[in-house]
Amino acid sequence: MTDPFTMVGVSLEAFTSIGFWTGVGIIAGTYTIFALGLQLNVGYTGIFNFGQAGFMAVGAYSMAILVTETGIDFWLSLPLAIAITMLFGLLVALPAVRLRTDYLAIATIAAAEAVRLFALNATDLTGGAQGLFGFDDSWDEVSDTIEGWLESLGWSNPENLFPLFLVVWVVALILTAIMWRIQKTPWGRVMRAVREDEDAARALGKNAFAYKLQSLVIAAAFGAIAGFFLALNLRFVIPDEFLPIFTFLGYAVLVLGGLANYWGVAVGSIVFWTILEGLRFIDLPVSEVKISAIRFMLVGLALILLMAFRPQGMFGKKEEMVLGD
């Protein structure tokens, strides 16, 4: 047993600090992008992608490797990394979307774990457990410029990470708006038809297989973009940031916001991460390991209760939920 020690500091103080909200905001924005991909897969296409953390890993590592190993410009590395991740997504999707729903869940989680173990063990390429860093110089310049603007607006000595906060939310909201708009197009309607009844969609001449592929590949791209922000936030990329639990957290964000509702993702993400990060400050006389254990026990409990009593989440439509298999 570890020695119990008393947590010092008053919990409420944290919630009034700009640093806390910037930190929570960046994670919430990152997970909004992350879970938008899941929303497209689960909420609108009816495929249970449990490998989103793997796509995030491929995106973040591709960017970091391109910048640090090959010396490609950071801004050029971003579209390249997205393309690589989409290609990887296609590679996973080609066999996976033929599988039954439950098998697809297992196959995608296995693919994600294979990526993580590759990153952990291919030390020459990925730096192994130490990971990669030093890829964000170009971002720092932009960040400084934004800080300059903030200062000229009258905010003396702005929060260091505030520019990242602004950028991640601009990107998250633009992507949400695009997905929300796209869902109203014929393409979006076919997606939902595939979710509701694949055979009926096929009978109408729609290529359900191709639509499912597109769904997973687009989700992979969202994973990659979330990976960039994760990497910029931490300033390094390590395998432990891509454990399966992060996909599960993405699902918690998704079902909290509600299935089949793109704007719900952002709200779900903000609520989820405010609570989860706020729980760091619970004032209990126990060790940090125990506090962290309590936080994740509560996530598990919340998932169980949410699925038992309000599976549609905050803003989901019950009639649009994929209930059967």
Query: What's the CA angle centered on 121, arms 118 and 124, to 5 degrees?
Result: 100
Shortest Å, Cβ 291 to other proteins: 9
Question: x-or-dash pattern for other proteins, window 134-173, by CB under 8 A?
Answer: ----------------------------------------
Of 111, 166, 179, 231, the one binding other proteins (CB under 8 A) is: 111
Comparison of 18 and 314: residue with beta carbon closer to other proteins: 314
42 vs 50: CA distance, rounded Å: 10
Comparison of 163 and 316: residue with beta carbon closer to other proteins: 316
Residue 207, CB-side half-sphere exposure with 13 Å CA sphere: 6
Comparison of 137 and 325: residue with beta carbon closer to other proteins: 325
- Report 282-301 residues binding other proteins (CB under 8 A): 287, 289-290, 292-294, 296-297, 299-301
Question: x-or-dash pattern for other proteins, window 249-288, by CB under 8 A?
Answer: --x---x-------------------------------x-
Q: Which two tokens stand for residue 120?
A: 């952990």
322 vs 62: CA distance, rounded Å: 34
Is residue 222 within 8 Å of 53, Cβ to Cβ?
A: no
Site size toward other proteins, by CB under 8 A: 49
Rounded to the nearest angstrom, the gap between the alpha carbon of residue 248 and the centroid of all alpha carbons in its chain is 10
Q: Which two tokens stand for residue 64?
A: 């970091």
Tell me the one-letter amino acid at 149: W
57 vs 115: CA distance, rounded Å: 7
Of 56, 109, 171, 238, the one binding other proteins (CB under 8 A) is: 109
Nearest to 267 by CA among 22, 82, 32: 32
Q: What are phi and psi of 97, to 5 degrees?
A: -70, -10
Asked if residue 99 binds other proteins (CB under 8 A), the reply is yes
Q: What is the largest CA-CA distance in the chain?
A: 66
Asked if residue 95 binds other proteins (CB under 8 A), the reply is yes
Shortest Å, Cβ 275 to other proteins: 15
Shortest Å, Cβ 123 to other proteins: 9
46 vs 198: CA distance, rounded Å: 10
Asked if residue 245 binds other proteins (CB under 8 A), the reply is yes
- Residues 209-222 as b/e (b if ≥16 CB within 10 A, e otherwise) read eebbbbbbbbbbbb
Taking the alpha carbons at both ends of the chain, their separation in whole angstroms is: 44
Question: x-or-dash pattern for other proteins, window 45-74, by CB under 8 A?
Answer: ---x--------------------------
Of 180, 303, 314, 317, the one binding other proteins (CB under 8 A) is: 303
Question: Helix (H, G, I), strand (E, B), or coil: what is residue 183?
Answer: coil
- How long, in residues, is the chain? 325
Of 83, 117, 210, 284, the one binding other proteins (CB under 8 A) is: 117
Of 18, 72, 110, 314, the one binding other proteins (CB under 8 A) is: 110
Nearest to 259 by CA among 272, 268, 246: 268
Of 20, 72, 113, 192, the one binding other proteins (CB under 8 A) is: 113
Q: Which two tokens stand for residue 272?
A: 């989820």
Which runs of E-coded beta strand occur in the chain?
Answer: 132-133, 236-237
Of 76, 114, 282, 284, the one binding other proteins (CB under 8 A) is: 114
Comparison of 167 and 219: residue with beta carbon closer to other proteins: 219
Comparison of 2 and 6: residue with beta carbon closer to other proteins: 2
Which residue ranges make up the site for other proteins (CB under 8 A)? Answer: 1-2, 42, 48, 95-96, 99-103, 105-107, 109-111, 113-114, 117-118, 120-121, 245, 248, 251, 255, 287, 289-290, 292-294, 296-297, 299-304, 307-308, 311, 321-325
